Amino acid sequence: MDENYLLNTSLSQRLFHECAKNLPIIDYHNHLERKDLTGEKRYRNIAELWLLSDPYKHRAMRICGVSEDYITGGAGDKEKFRAWMDILPRLVGNPLYEWSILEMKRVFEIDLKPGITDPEWLWEQTNRKLSKPEYSAQRILQIFNVEYAAPCASIADDITAFEGTGSIAPSLRGDTMADLNAETIEQLEGIVQTPIFSLHDYCQAIRVRLNDFHRVGCRFSDHALDDGFEYIPDDGRNEQRFITWKQGASLNCDEKKRLSSEILRFLAGEYAKYGWTMQLHIGAQRYTSTRLRKLAGPAGGFAGIGNCCDIRSLTQMLDEFEQGVNGMPKVILFTLNPADNAAMSVLSGSYSGDGVEGNVQQGPAWWWCDHLYGMREVLETISSFGVLSTFVGMTTDSRSILSFVRHEYFRRVLCGWLGGKAANGEITASYEALRKLVEDICYYNAKKRITE
């Protein structure tokens, strides 16, 4: 892998090296541990940094037949590292092969050659560097030139660590608000020092917390609309449903969906009031292997791609958001099913906002799709069905701090794709026009989301 990896034309090389390469990173949604980013987190060895928190790598190891003991089980860190090094040469064609090389190069200045580099040497070299203060989590953010990172935090989480950090702010994970649970209610009551008996009380408590989140820099929320999501308009009975649930009675599936839809409507209006961006992650099938769920937990890297999105539900929900008192929040639609790409891109023209660029837009290739094939497909659909210049660009959505190399990977894919299009006569070959496009997609469009 040389400096022109994925850059097959002189124009694509110029766009990357002169425009994209050195731009700061705005990572508006990830699952990193906030205490790591806001504290003085150090890593005990390369396995902890490189493997233990990365479900992408775990999934690849399972596919290659590695025992779960060497993935999330009881094997030692060095044994897990050796198991990963054993299967890495087999991953040619999978983005993890290139990502792993980039991770070693950018953070440790080591030219990893899978199948050739001696694992024992790599273990010793990386661990020696990790023992130094300059390899803390915060220092790694500086290596990647991360200007803003937004790890997920739920509504009742302690967010005091974000105060005064500037470059680290929470992205509000909204699922525990929309899908009611007693633990969240109890925690909220303790935080706001007010009992919650009704839906009105609940919304008031959430308003208090949203103000707290905004004060520490939160500008993004996130909701999972998993496979089977259905939106149901208000029938005027959701206050009573909440009271019934709060008093200990169970709700049937339809009642739960109605109450969840009501809470989403309320939250969208609050996000619009604050000027936040509401991220909707659509289409994950999170229940696959019961065995792996028990072994590795709900985020263990074994989820699948669900059915195509219920477009009728989605558009009805967005339409009602738009008609709310505070109007439509800015929305990013992430789809896990590639069959939904065109449908999501088209919706960028269905819910415009006066004076707002890309008010509703398709997000970057997400989860199982954030590779060369998936990124190119999303670029094709956004440019064909929407307006590419408003695209908010890449975010990692990852649990591994080394995944910031995916911004470089995305920038290479973008510049290579544009250079190839220009060479084929499909788009302008004007360097100045494409320079502005690259800079906006890679940095400035996301920057606007946290400054406007």
Could you read off the pLDDT of 268-324 as tens digits, one per residue?
999 999 999 999 999 999 999 999 999 888 888 899 999 999 999 999 999 999 999
- pLDDT attached to residue 256: 95
Give yes or no for residue 165 having a pLDDT over 90: no
C-alpha distance across the termini of the chain, in Å: 39
Query: What span, in angstroms and rounded, lies between the C-alpha atoms of 278 and 223?
Result: 8
pLDDT tens string 172-221: 999 999 999 999 999 999 999 999 999 999 999 999 999 999 999 999 99
pLDDT tens string 85-113: 999 999 999 999 999 999 999 999 999 99
Residues making up the chain, counted from first to last? 452
- 284-285 and 304-305 beta bridge pairing: antiparallel
- pLDDT attached to residue 299: 84
pLDDT band at 164 (very low <50, low <70, confident <90, very high): confident
Give me the amino acid identity at 137.
A
Torsion angle of C-alpha atoms 420, 421, 423, 428, degrees rounded to 10: -140
CATH 1.10.2020.10 in the chain is located at 42-135
Find out whether 229 and 282 touch, Cβ atoms under 8 Å: yes
- If one counts every other C-beta atom within 10 angstroms of the C-beta of residue 245, the result is 18
In this prediction the pTM is 0.96
**Domain at 42-135: CATH architecture:** Orthogonal Bundle (1.10)
**Which one-letter DSSP state was computed for residue 371?**
S
Percent of the chain whose predicted confidence (pLDDT) is above 90: 94
Give the C-alpha distances (Å, rounded to integers) separating 337 from 227, 285, 349: 10, 10, 21
Find out whether 7 and 419 touch, Cβ atoms under 8 Å: yes
Taking all residues of the chain, what is their mean pLDDT, rounded to a whole number? 96
The three-state secondary structure class of 28 is: strand
Query: What span, in angstroms and rounded, lies between the C-alpha atoms of 446 and 392?
Result: 5
The residue behind tokens 């929470």 is 170
